[in-house]
Amino acid sequence: MAKEAKVQFICQECGYCSPKWLGKCPDCGGWNTFVEEISSLKPSSTSLDTPSTPIPITQIDSLKLPRLKTGLLELDRVLGGGLVPGSVVLIGGAPGIGKSTLTLQALFNLTKQGLNTLYVSGEESATQIKLRAERLHVEHPRLYLLTETALEHILSSIEKIDVQIVVIDSIQTMFTTALTSAPGSVSQVREVTGKLVRLAKNRNISIFIVGHVTKEGAIAGPRMLEHMVDTVLYFEGEKGHPHRILCAVKNRFGSTNEIGVFEMQEYGLVEVNNPSELFLAERPVNTSGSVIVPILEGSRPILIELQALTSPSFLAMPRRTSIGVDPYRLNLLVAILEKKVGLNLGQQDIFFNVAGGVKIEEPAADLGIVTAIASSFLNKPIPPQWVLLGEVGLTGEVRAITQAEIRLIEAEKMGFKQCIIPQSNLKHLKKTPLPTIGIHKIEKAFEVLF
């Protein structure tokens, strides 16, 4: 007697299975994330390959394949020097941020190298993609378009055309007939991605997978999707600003600290080779609460502007708002200013912003943060041709930072005349591109600036 299909409720955030519907997922804590799915009980028709034999690692020949250059230097930088053949890259970003534009431009540049490429869209028609391609000037006979959502048909087309690069836009619209659940469900996303990964490894095909993001900014679907692919990229940008930032949160073939900066223009994404110039273009001069800090994004130094605003508070608990900086780090530095410098910030609202939408995680910007807050509180502007570097400890000491020399070279290139750095860094500098002042306490920095 044939068994009936089994009904399960699966969390769309983490993949947790439950025999009944639950309002809150006990695994990830998400609310209203359970969706009913019917699991197929028919046996899988996939045949097992010949089992492999364990081999000592010393007897395995290393295969060094040259990376494929996408023609976009910023994208190649984030990928670790180019696209690795046989790799699977997951790109996430908000709607309209430019994911489809980025992948189309990359495919066009790859086709000019004699490679066959395939753009698979499950959301747009071929006519819509054609209109975008004409606007971006990315038409080429080796760039194929396919509007399909069934994975089996997509795999068949890849076999016929013999492509080397594939773009799947987007993974949430694809489905396989081996499962009865709806497209975009956890089971479908996991199964489709798994088959695409096997295809990439077996055929040495590079695949870009475009993914939707949730309202929190994370890629929609289970977190296991990020574990299955080789590289995870996030394409970000502030509303109302034309520039976009591409960063890697996972990369098996390179660093995750690199970022790429693009500017969205009428004819597509244009690379920004000098991000410092972009972020400082609208910087106010001789204004309190503004300071310039050279930060490192991977191996690239970037000059960014830190802005602080303090105002008397009429609330029982003054507000502490930060954009681009960890709010807990901001509260810690405010406490150091009160304790070690004597600034009375207990009844002040403090608003902090990193201009340009950049997010700072390294502690080298601590000295810039405290001086920007002090500058706004004292209403004394910091000299516009100065840059500041240093990590601030709980006792008010200014600690050394990494790679100070290349930061100073970038500051000197952008026309800055003076720099304040930790005393320990000054001792170990082989050369100083611009005049520097070494300090070991934040009080000394305030004596110099104010």
- 29 compared with 167, residue with greater pLDDT: 167
Q: Which candidate, 409, 419, 422, places its Cα nearest to that of 386?
A: 419
Cα(first)–Cα(last) distance of the chain, in Å? 87
Q: What pLDDT score does 68 carry? A: 93
Residue 284 assigned ligand-binding role = no
CATH assignment at residue 333: 3.30.230.10
Residue 94 assigned ligand-binding role = yes
Q: Are residues 258 and 198 in the same domain?
A: yes
Residue 304 lies in a domain: yes
Query: Which residue segment(s) compose the domain that 30 sits in?
Result: 7-39
Q: What pLDDT score does 61 carry? A: 75
Residue 369: is it exposed, middle or buried by C-beta count within 10 angstroms (0-12/13-18/19+)? buried
Residue 24 assigned ligand-binding role = no
Residue 50 lies in a domain: no
Residue 100 assigned ligand-binding role = yes
pLDDT at 399 exceeding the cut of 90 = yes
Q: Are residues 215 and 310 in the same domain?
A: no
Tell how far CA 423 is from the center of its chain.
33
State the total domains in the chain.
3
Q: Are residues 28 and 79 in the same domain?
A: no
Residue 58 lies in a domain: no
Q: Are residues 402 and 254 in the same domain?
A: no
Residue 149 lies in a domain: yes
Residue 390 assigned ligand-binding role = no
Question: What pTM did the predictor assign?
Answer: 0.74
Question: On the CB side of 366, how many CA atoms lie within 13 Å of its CA?
Answer: 27
pLDDT at 1 exceeding the cut of 50 = no
Q: What pLDDT score does 2 carry? A: 46
Q: Are residues 125 and 35 in the same domain?
A: no
Residue 415 assigned ligand-binding role = no
> For the sheet containing 418-422, what is the strand order?
320-323, 348-354, 300-312, 290-297, 386-388, 418-422, 436-439
Q: What pLDDT score does 155 carry? A: 93
Domain boundary among 221, 238, 273: 273
210-266: pLDDT as tens digits = 988 766 656 656 567 888 999 999 988 766 677 888 989 899 998 887 888 898 888
Q: What pLDDT score does 306 carry? A: 95
Q: Are residues 268 and 318 in the same domain?
A: no
Q: What pLDDT score does 217 carry? A: 58
Out of 48-57, 110-119, 129-138, 383-392, which region has the weakest mean confidence (pLDDT)? 48-57
Q: Are residues 137 and 243 in the same domain?
A: yes
Domain boundary among 223, 250, 273: 273
Contact between 146 and 156 (Cβ < 8 Å): no
CATH assignment at residue 158: 3.40.50.300
Residue 93 assigned ligand-binding role = yes
Q: What pLDDT score does 135 carry? A: 92
